[in-house]
Amino acid sequence: MEQIIATVTNWPVIIQGALGSALFTLLFFLGKVISKRTFFVIEMFSNHQEESKQSLYKIRLRAIKSETPEKKSMWLHLLIYKILGNVVRAFIWLIFGSISSSIIPVFGIIGYLGALYYLFNTLTAYKDITSDVTDEET
């Protein structure tokens, strides 16, 4: 590394400036591409989470507004099925966090936080539904 720096410092100043500008442009371009892709992935994840919460909300509404016990039971079973997906994800985070905590302790904390995230997401199915909801939303 020192040899490269010594070689570059022996070059004329104009070449060093051009090399620095080219390096800055390359890093700027890479940063732009990486940030654009990162924000795209975050936006997709956010949209997926919102759609999942909306479907849970609609299932809860249909379960509450069902007149017959059979239909109410069907919607509640579907709601439990959808909730169990988050519970399984939480257990997976918890297991990986426990296993990896013996290697690197920080990974254990990350695993526990991931499990808490998914467990708190399951609580959205138990929110109160106000009585002023219209039939158009179901």
What tokens appear for 7 in the block?
């070689």
At 27-63, the pLDDT tens digits run: 989 988 888 888 888 788 778 778 888 888 888 888 8
pTM: 0.58
* Separation of alpha carbons 8 and 13, rounded Å: 9
CA distances from 59 to 30, 50, 93, 106 (A): 44, 14, 26, 38
Smallest Cα–Cα separation from 111: which of 100, 120, 123?
A: 100
What is the per-residue pLDDT for 96? 92
